[in-house]
Amino acid sequence: MIFKRLFGFLGKDLAMDLGTANTLIFSPKDGIVLNEPSVVAMDAHNGSILAVGKEAKDFLGRTPDRIRAIRPLKDGVIADFEVTKEMISFFIKKVITGMSLVKPRIVICVPTGITQVEKRAVIESALQAGAREVKLIEEPMAAAIGAGLPIEEPIGNMVVDIGGGTTEVAVISLSAVAYAESVRVAGDEMNEAIQRYFQDEHQLLIGENMSERVKMTLGTAMPLDAPLTGEVSGKNLVNGTPKTIQITDEEIRHAIQEPVAHIVLAVKRSLEKTPPELVGDIANNGLLLAGGGALLKGLDRLICKETNLNVIVDDDPLTTVVRGTGRSLEEAKLYSKVYIN
């Protein structure tokens, strides 16, 4: 009996949201046990891993030539197989302390537009990183479960999950995706748009971390009642000296309007292609907004204005997907149909 309990503890199951920007791991026993940036710092000469996660993210834009800080996932899928494998392995070891007699069973969420080759890459990475079994679940499905939507009923539920690399729009009914669209425009695209804006309008070069900070503090999809202002520091493109300027939320709204318009268009396109009965359900139930992009101020109001739908932002949109992935593990019988492999 003691051995059985020990066996179960050491072979604990994990749910992983392997995101372009952040990786989260959920344990049914302890909840969210890891939330780290999907960044790896490597030695350019010998390829050895120097740092992973938060520590590696601090290296972005600050590394000497011999150190490379890279993000091994691009647009929600694996861009660098070997580095992703090392990163997953590092994160698994970090949450499974002590001797691992039994490898964990892992459920990983992936974008809806993932190809067979990309699916295989995710599964292989996790198996080589130390998993004994890997199941895949689509991000919008995981988000719907995480938000507590009645996905097993014959009712249309619409989910918009805006991550770092992809925006996933899906209509879910009877534990299956009735219609899905995955667009590779999301948080990263907004960060890049902000960097381009400062370069073009202010001759100011800013780093990736700074553009993300600007988006989080001053980014808006619609005008606010009280305007926001802030300072942005970077390098003067004309003479290379440090430069700090004052900016407003209106400027940042202008900078990110193109990627935001792409996201709204994906939602409208999905509604056009969804059967009328399901659209009727969505009109009654509203649309769920999840993922880090859901935190963009005024985005819910903009989608509401463009679609005439009630938009519900999940209570904790950054963790909706990993909570749903974890719940699919905890209630395996109820959610057995949601896995795509």
Q: pLDDT, tens digit, for every residue of 273-287?
A: 999 999 999 999 999
* Secondary structure class of 176 (helix, strand, coil): strand
Residues in the chain, how many? 341
SS3 category, 205 = strand
Residue segments in the chain with a per-residue pLDDT below the cut of 70 = 1-11, 63, 97-101
pTM metric for this prediction: 0.88
Q: Decide if 224 contacts 298 (C-beta within 8 A).
A: yes
Amino acid letter, 320: T
Instruction: Outline where the chain has alpha helix (H).
Output: 2-10, 54-57, 81-95, 116-128, 139-146, 187-202, 208-218, 249-255, 257-273, 276-285, 299-307, 320-330
* pLDDT at res. 214: 97
pLDDT value of residue 60? 76
Fold type of domain 153-313: Nucleotidyltransferase; domain 5 (3.30.420)
Distance CA 304, CA 289 (A): 11
The pLDDT score that the predictor gives to residue 295 is: 96
Query: What pLDDT, on a 0 to 100 scale, did the predictor assign at position 39?
Result: 92
What pLDDT was estimated at residue 7? 40
Q: What angle do CA 140, 180, 270 make, to 5 degrees?
A: 115
Instruction: For residues 135 and 121, give the distance between their C-alpha atoms in angstroms, rounded to a whole number.
Output: 13
Q: Are 204 and 165 in contact (CB under 8 A)?
A: no
- What's the confidence (pLDDT) of residue 255? 97
- pLDDT attached to residue 9: 43
Query: So where are the chain's domains?
Result: 2-37+73-141+322-338, 153-313
pLDDT at 98: 55
- Two tokens at 244? 């700090």
| Pairing mode, strands 67-70 and 14-18 | unpaired
| Level-2 CATH architecture, domain 2-37+73-141+322-338 | 2-Layer Sandwich (3.30)
List all residues 6 or more positions away from 331 whose beta carbon is below 8 Å from its beta carbon.
Answer: none
Question: Does 2-37+73-141+322-338 match 153-313 in CATH topology?
Answer: yes
* Residue found by looking up tokens 């539920």 in the block: 157
223, burial (CB in 10 Å: exposed 0-12, middle 13-18, buried 19+):
exposed
Token pair listed for 167: 């925006």
- For residues 213 and 219, what is the distance between their CA atoms, to the nearest angstrom? 9
pLDDT of residue 11: 55
